[in-house]
Amino acid sequence: MTPTRRRLLQAAPALAGAASLPMGVAWAQGRDAAAWPNHAVSVMVPFAPGGSTDFIARLLAQELSTALGQQFVVDNRAGGSGTVGMAFLARARPDGYTLGVVPNGTFAMAPAMYDRLPYDNSNAFAPIGLLATNAMFLCVEPNSPHKTLAALIEASRARPGSITFASAGSGVANHLGPELLQDMAGVQWLHVPYRSGAAGVQAVIAKETTLSFVDSVTAIPYLRDRTLLALGYSGAERSPQAPDVPTIAELGYPGYRASTDFGLFAPAGTPQPILQRLSEESRRIMLSATTKARLEPLAIDPVGGTPEQFAPYAAGERTKWGELIRKRNIKPE
């Protein structure tokens, strides 16, 4: 068990319970919940297909379809650092037929980026559990003149503003991960947001941008065929799939850690029996030997956390990244 997973699973329960429902409403919800699911369930992903969030959502949807006997269908709704999809989820009927697999860049980082959101981030959603977590590789294209992190930082200081980095959008993990490193190193890079992490990777390969922080789901194949070169890893420990790549903390930035973490949500007001069943099934799926075998080659750590463990984790993420966003005056682009 990695330190990240242990920290998440040992967090003290802190979720407040939902407000009590009138008896008639509670009875009707209980009746509907008992029959759930009796038709297809939509699993919203707030980004375009092809990235790590989409991968986790499709893995989970496939297994839930088998376990619960109805189709769980991924619905990609990209835009606004994931906030377009979250607004859709907030408006959805709370009947268990619309869920969301959402990264921490959206549920913990983006709220500090925007002065106003089209939903109440604190109260519009019912958290079901943390599904998985994975760190990122700081990647450049193989012919880059910057072969080490030290060389990249030296060039950044010699030519301020000359280094560009691609992200999947403002306020997501592979935007704020580089911002944290810039803050610790005392350098300034130019942020170039794209519509997805996959598009950002292609920008690095095409030499449109200098670097990108690439989640391990996407990065590992590129590293293996040497289409990308990794200068560092954003996790607390080295990736077992790329053990020769040092952590950024090892390279002179102690305490540095940034990861993409994936949570499962429903609209607030979804009947508790449905939330409970989803929590149990998703936890069983994520911690199964089959899922672990699928995730291990991609350096993704399955968590399978409960709703009660989600709140303190999310609160800590909001504090850490909110402070960075305010300090660096980061705004949506």
pTM greater than 0.85 (yes/no): no
String of DSSP letters for 224-293: HTTSSEEEEE-SSS--TTSTTS-BTTTTT-TT---EEEEEEEEETT--HHHHHHHHHHHHHHHTSHHHHH
Q: How far apart are CA 271 and CA 329, in angstroms?
A: 40
What is the residue-level pLDDT of the chain in tens, covering all 333 positions? 554 555 544 443 333 333 334 434 443 455 567 789 999 999 999 988 887 899 999 999 999 999 999 999 999 999 887 899 999 999 999 999 999 999 998 999 888 888 889 999 989 999 999 999 989 999 999 999 999 999 999 999 999 889 999 998 888 889 999 999 999 999 999 999 998 888 999 999 999 999 999 988 889 999 999 999 999 999 999 999 999 999 999 999 999 999 989 999 999 999 999 999 999 999 999 999 999 999 998 889 999 989 999 888 888 888 999 999 999 998 887
Q: How far apart are CA 60 and CA 72, in angstroms?
A: 9
Q: How far apart are CA 45 and CA 56, in angstroms?
A: 10
Which sign, positive or negative, has the C-alpha torsion 138, 141, 147, 151? negative
Alpha carbon separation from 83 to 22, 93, 109, 111, 172 (Å, rounded): 32, 18, 11, 9, 11
Per-residue pLDDT reduced to its tens digit, 76-103: 999 887 899 999 999 999 999 999 999 9
User: Which among 129, 294, 140, 310 has a CA at the least distance from the CA of 217?
Assistant: 294
The pLDDT value recorded for residue 10 is 45
Contact (Cβ atoms closer than 8 angstroms) between residue 212 and residue 299: no
The pLDDT value recorded for residue 14 is 34
The pLDDT value recorded for residue 79 is 84
Residue 221: other Cβ atoms inside 10 A: 12
Q: Using alpha carbons only, what angle is made at residue 36 by residues 279 and 98, rounded to the nearest 5 degrees?
A: 65
The pLDDT value recorded for residue 195 is 81
String of DSSP letters for 293-304: HHHGGGT-EE--
Q: Which residues pair with 232 in a beta bridge?
A: 138
Length of the chain: 333
Contact (Cβ atoms closer than 8 angstroms) between residue 51 and residue 197: yes
Q: How far apart are CA 124 and CA 126, in angstroms?
A: 7
The pLDDT value recorded for residue 25 is 45
String of DSSP letters for 1-55: --HHHHHHHHSPP-PPPPPPPPHHHHHHHHHHHHH--SS-EEEEESS-TTSHHHH
The pLDDT value recorded for residue 30 is 55
Helix and strand numbers (H, E) in the chain are: 13, 10
Q: 16 — phi, psi (to 5°)?
A: -80, 145
Nearby residues of 47 by Cβ (< 8 Å), 6 or more positions away: 53, 54, 76, 78, 82, 85, 103, 168, 196, 197
Element containing residue 324 per DSSP (H, E):
helix 307-328
